[in-house]
């Protein structure tokens, strides 16, 4: 499975994007998000970017006011996931230009489309920014 979920959450703990790769009910999502956001937001910058939670790990990274949290299985390479987050941000940055929290909020579906290109079935399938963005650019043009 690898990646279980990807969350973007701001400093106040408000969810900005949530994508789950295994089904959880609304209540479970709410509980989970509350729990892990509390856990991760309480940590300082010197501490590890990894947190063990139940039987999986959360790898998180902060950009300005936004936290990117990725829940992964225990045998996943944490550093690689950390860099995967950065790749995602770079990709969004290439598309939006100086991407900020508001870009993701206004273009929630696009942020999701990028994730759809990058991750399938909880595995990283695409890491070339050009390949990730080309369908989105084509759609932009078409509509």
Partner 1 sequence: MGSQGGFYQSKEFLDLVKSIGEARSKAEEDRIVLNEIETLKRRISEPDIPKRKMKEYIIRLVYIEMLGHDASFGYIHAVKMTHDDSLLVKRTGYLAVTLFLNEDHDLIILIVNTIQKDLKSDNYLVVCAALNAVCKLINEETIPAVLPQVMELLAHPKEAVRKKAIMALHRFYQKSPSSVSHLVSNFRKRLCDNDPGVMGATLCPLFELIARDVNSYKDLVISFVSILKQVAERRLSKAYDYHQMPAPFIQIKLLKILALLGSGDKQASENMYTVVGDIFRKCDSSSNIGNAVLYECICCVSSIYPNPKLLESAADVISRFLKSDSHNLKYMGIDALGRLIKISPEIAEQHQLAVIDCLEDPDDTLKRKTFELLYKMTKSTNVEVIVDRMIDYMISINDNHYKTEIASRCVELAEQFAPSNQWFIQTMNRVFEHAGDLVNIKVAHNLMRLIAEGFGEDDDNADTKLRSSAVESYLRILGEPKLPSVFLQVICWVLGEYGTADGMFSASDITGKLCDVAEAYSNDETVKAYATTALMKIYAFEIAARRKVDMLPECQSLMEELLASHSTDLQQRAYELQAVIGLDAHAVACIMPSDASCEDIEVDRDLSFLNDYIQEAIEKGAQPYIPESERSGMLNISNFRNQDHHEASSHGLRFEAYELPKPAVQSRIPQTLIASTEIVPVPEPMYPRESYQTTMPSIPSDAGSAELKLRLEGVQKKWGRSTYTPATSTSNSTSQKTVNGTSQGDGASTVSSMRETYDSRKPQVEVSHEKQKLAASLFGGSSKTEKSPATGHKAAKASSHVVKSHVPKSSLEVASEKATPAQQPPDLLDLGEPTATSTALQLDPFKQLEGLLDATEVASAVNGAPAASRSPDIMALYADTAAGIHNKNDADLLSGLSNPSVTNMPGTTAMPQVTQSSSKGPNPKDSLEKDALVRQMGVNPSSQNPNLFKDLLG
Which residues in the 75-114 window bind partner 1 by CB under 8 A? Answer: 75, 77-80, 82-84, 86-87, 89-90, 92-103, 105-110, 112-113
Minimum distance from CB of 69 to partner 1 (Å)?
Answer: 14
SS3 of 57, please? Answer: strand
Site string for partner 1, 49-68 (x = CB under 8 A): xxxx-xxx------xxxx--
CA distances in angstroms from 126 to 40, 57, 88, 115, listed in the order given: 27, 22, 11, 10
For residues 7-46, which are near partner 1 according to CB under 8 A?
Answer: 10-15, 17-19, 22-26, 28-30, 32-33, 46
Q: How far is CA 4 from CA 73, 105, 133, 141, in A?
A: 7, 22, 23, 33
Complex with partner 1: residue 66 or 70, whichever CB lies closer: 66
């Amino acid at each position: 499975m690898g990646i279980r979920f990807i969350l973007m959450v701001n400093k106040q703990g408000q969810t900005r994007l949530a994508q789950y790769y295994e089904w959880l009910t609304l209540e479970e999502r709410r509980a989970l998000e509350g729990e892990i956001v509390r856990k991760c937001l309480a940590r300082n910058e010197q501490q590890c970017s990894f947190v063990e939670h139940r039987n999986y790990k959360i790898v998180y990274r902060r950009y300005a006011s936004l936290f990117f949290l990725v829940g992964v299985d225990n045998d996943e390479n944490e550093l690689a996931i950390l860099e995967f987050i950065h790749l995602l941000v770079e990709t969004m940055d290439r598309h939006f230009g100086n991407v900020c929290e508001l870009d993701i909020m206004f273009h929630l579906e696009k942020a999701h489309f990028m994730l759809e290109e990058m991750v399938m079935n909880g595995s990283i399938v695409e890491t070339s920014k050009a390949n990730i963005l080309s369908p989105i650019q084509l759609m932009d043009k078409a509509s």
